Structure 1
Amino acid sequence: MDAPNGSQDTEQTLDSQVKAFFDSAPPLQNRNDIIQKLNHFIQLNSLSSENGIGKRIVCVTSGGTTAPLEQRCVRYVDNFSSGHRGATSTEYLFLHLLLFLFLSMKLFLGYLFGDLLEGNEYNVADCVECRYFLKAGYAVIFLYRRGSFQPFCRSLPDDPLLDCFEATEGLNIQVGEAYSKAVKTAIVDHHAAVNSGLLLKLPFSTIFEYLQMLQIISKPMKDIGPRAMFFLAAAVSDFYVPWKDMVEHKIQSGSHILDVKLVQVPKMLSVLRKDWAPVAFCISFKLETDSNILIKKARGALEKYNMHAVVANELSTRKEQVVVVTIDDKITVQRDKSKADDDVENPLIKLLSQRHSAYIEDSKRMR
């Protein structure tokens, strides 16, 4: 009898690891509520628009997962991530689209009423710059770590509640003058995104919550085919303690040695690409501290997990530049240093949305 195929053995091993992970994971709190919100959001944004095509929907993951060491968790292993990349990328997905809608409305009103509207000045070049975001029309599922960086908060201090507000007479408070513009902009942009049905925020803390929620999100995203994108910027735990192997209560500190057995987290990127959402456009991230191995590692992830692109970033320069690695390209993306408030995520989102557009067109031709 022929020896079993090596790739089949690997797939079977991964499938068993995935099954073991989800079978042993604690039940996700508010699971039904999450599914209801998610289905409503995707249904809303999948309805045909004026051009007969539903919006593109992207799942942006952001922040680091924790691996608890106790069931009633006090101690845990954490993954480094501020969530800045995911939150800022989410913001750029909206700001360009909202700016386009705002300018389009001004153009429309100017056409109808002409000189009757005072101060109705607009720059057509701004509309042209934003036009591709109207084509993209992304709605965003923001899967984020509780307490991590949030969209529309780039201009706010680290502790906005205490730094931006000041007490007045009685029980009243007000925004300090120095932060009034930044706070107003953050609030207006955030509510515009949520109220327009373009932003759904879903928080996680543990590796168990994150992977269960990613699986839940993937199922309805599978139905929208190539219009779905996964922007996987979260820093996901590589190792965890299986729930059944954890102690229930806090680990006591009497011993000089803490012996904890960690198990490797199944490589869910492979499962996402193969089973959960095989037609979605998928982008993962590779962070290293050694620039000499960064591109090699990114190419390895690209091939191993069958990603459409891997964003390679070196720890010390990650806010200045990244390298987008694809099957036939290596593109360095840098922030515009002539603009003090520009971020590397701005050109990064433009590039990736263009690549997503090309992917959708290729998918149409292959039908």
Structure 2
Amino acid sequence: MSSASPRPRLEHQNTADIIEHNYFNENQRPAALEKHTALARDFINLHAAAGRRVVLVTSGGTTVPLERQTVRFIDNFSAGTRGATSAEYFLEKGYAVIFLHRQFSLLPYSRHYSHATDCFLDFLHEGPNGSVVANEEYREKMLKVLRQYTSAKRERLLLTLPFTTINDYLFVLRAVSQLMRPLGPSGLLYLAAAVSDFFVPPERMVEHKIQSTNAVDTPTERDAEAAAENEKGSEEEAFDNFDSSPSVPRSKRLIIDLDPVPKFLKNLVDGWAPEGMIVSFKLETDPAILVHKARYSLERYQHHLVIGNLLSTRKWEVVFVAPGQKDRWIRVPQHRRKKTASTVGTSVPVVGPSEDEKPLDPKDLPEGEPEIEIESLIIPAVEELHTSHIKNFVKRQSP
């Protein structure tokens, strides 16, 4: 029985390798891939030589183009808040950070002002002799953020690499993950990007913008389409945006046929970065299936940690699902959930993870943002698991 057990794994590997080979040979390499690979190689080599831990943080959503010359695309709501915030806390913990992010999504440090409801210029005013000065009420925080950013930049602890499409993301993810192999267990992959589940394969993608009317068709083609519509008994009124144009009816519907994006997490675990610690995220809207889906992902891909979170409470709690461990809920403590006059400016100890195994009810949470960022609790817990991962690896290598 033991001699037969490796077969399913081997077959799975062969299938995974074939899928990987097909995808990366059938889809176009991003134009900036070589540039990004060179930057990541230099960055990793620098910190590997210094014995520093390196984390790859992925952040933001991936677009799915519908045309080769892209005008229309499918996107999701992610602004990159989780990834950008996590990157800052990893830097505080002494990690070197490769920040693979959706172009124009939130970035570490600048996120404090680029994502504010006020315009960034509202934080500034013109001082004497034409100088630019931060407003008094924002000066202390702005100085702190500036110093953190300057320090990370000076010490070359932060490398930012942008992507836009799902294709860009997968190509760069594979390249950087493979470059992290020499780091061994000191490498950490923190996959917080909101990755598309579906895409349009290149052979089915049209070259030019998809037309919403048949205005460019010949009269004969339009007549044929109109006759077909009449045969169906269509009684819909045709509009071209806000202008009713009976002579050029807006009769086209757009039906998109999407294929599932291949799941490469298993390839990452087994081949791209086999010794590094790999953390993935699972976002759901139904609390009844969150932990189940996180466990399923962990069992399917055999990586090290799934961080589950619900859309409605993602800023207040997450659940750690790891192999051989009890599910661990990490929450913003009760006394840090809302800013009050008595808590602003005070230092309150952060308590450990909650023992309550049920998700929070959004109705029980205060309006607005929590007093502390939950990433300030997530990253120390991830660091703790990463330390254990390194120790266990060294133990296994010992004679």
Question: Would you say same fold, with TM above 0.5?
Answer: yes
Kindly tell me: are residues 154 and 146 of structure 1, through their superposed partners in 2, closer, same or farther at Cα, counting changes over 3 Å? closer
- The count of corresponding residues between Structure 1 and Structure 2 is 319
For 1:213, what is the secondary structure of its paired residue?
Answer: helix
Give secondary structure in 1 for the equivalent of 2:58: strand
Match of 2:170 in 1: 211
Report deviation, 1:216: 1.1
1:335–1:346: 8 Å Cα contact kept in structure 2? no
Mapped to 2, the partners of 1:159 and 1:70 lie a distance apart of 35
Q: Give the drift of 1:19.
A: 2.0
| TM-score normalised by the chain length of structure 2 | 0.75
Q: Residues 152-231 of structure 1 correspond to what in structure 2 (within 5 A)?
A: 152-153=109-110, 155-156=112-113, 157-158=116-117, 160-166=119-125, 173-231=132-190
Contact 2:101/2:160 (<8 A) preserved: yes
Secondary structure of 1:364 counterpart: helix
Aligned residue runs from structure 1 range 135-150, under 5 A: 137-150=94-107
Match for residue 83 of structure 2 among 86, 90, 96: 86
- Amino acid across the alignment from 1:139: A
Partner of 2:37: 35
Aligned partner of 1:116 in structure 2 is none
Contact 1:289 1:314 in 2 (8 A): yes
Task: Name which of structure 1's ranges 13-22 and 237-246 shifts more when overlaid on structure 2.
Answer: 13-22
Q: Aligned match of 1:350 in 355, 380, 383?
A: 380
Amino acid across the alignment from 1:40: D
Aligned to 1:278, the other structure's residue is in SS state: coil
- 1:24 offset after TM fit, Å? 2.5
Q: Percent identity between the aligned chains? A: 39
CA contact (8 A) 2:65 2:165 kept: yes
Residues 1:292 and 2:322 are matched in the alignment: no
- 1:208-240 deviation line (CA, Å, top 9, x unaligned): 110111011011201111110100010101010
Q: Residue by residue, what CA displacement relative to the aligned partner does 1:5-33 show, whole Å, maximum 9, x if unpaired?
A: 66555444433332222112222122222
Q: 2:200 is matched with which residue?
A: 241
Indicate if the aligned counterparts of 1:86 and 1:233 stay in contact, CA closer than 8 A. yes
| Cα distance between partner residues in 1 of 2:73 and 2:126 | 37
Q: Which has the higher helix share?
A: 1
Distance 1:170 1:240, change over 3 A: farther
Name the CA distance, whole Å, in 1 between partners of 2:303 and 2:83.
18
Higher relative contact order (CA 8 A, sep 6+): 1
Segments of structure 1 that go 5 or more residues without pairing to the other structure are 49-53, 96-132
Matches of 1:210 and 1:154, distance apart in 2: 21
8 Å Cα contact 1:336/1:344 also seen in 2: no
**Shift in alpha-carbon separation, 1:11–1:79, aligned structure 2, 3 A:** farther
Q: Which amino acid aligns with 1:42?
A: I
Structure-1 separation of matches of 2:306 and 2:112: 28
SS at match of 2:289: helix
Q: TM-score, normalised by structure 1?
A: 0.81
Does the CA contact (< 8 Å) of 2:212 and 2:253 recur in 1?
no
Q: Find the residue that maps to 2:159 and give its secondary structure.
A: strand
Q: Which of 326, 331, 335 is the equivalent residue of 2:328?
A: 331
For residues 238 and 177 of structure 1, the distance between their equivalents in structure 2, rounded to whole angstroms, comes to: 46
CA distance in 1, matches of 2:257, 2:12: 23
1:80 partner SS: coil
| Secondary structure of the structure 2 residue equivalent to 1:43 | helix
Aligned positions of 1:354-365 closer than 5 A: 354-365=384-395
Gaps of 5+ in 2: 214-250, 340-370
Alignment of 1:299-314 (within 5 A): 299-314=295-310
Q: Per-residue CA shift, 1:274-293, capped at 9, x if unaligned?
A: 11011110010001000000
Are the structure 2 counterparts of residues 219 and 159 from structure 1 closer, same or farther at C-alpha, using a change threshold of 3 Å? farther
- Residue 260 of structure 1 aligns with which residue? 256
Distance 1:31 1:264 in 2: 23
Q: How many angstroms does 1:296 deviate by?
A: 0.3
Separation (CA, whole Å) in 2 of partners of 1:245 and 1:7: 33
Shift of 1:166: 4.0
Judge conservation of contact 1:63–1:148 (CA < 8 Å) in 2: yes
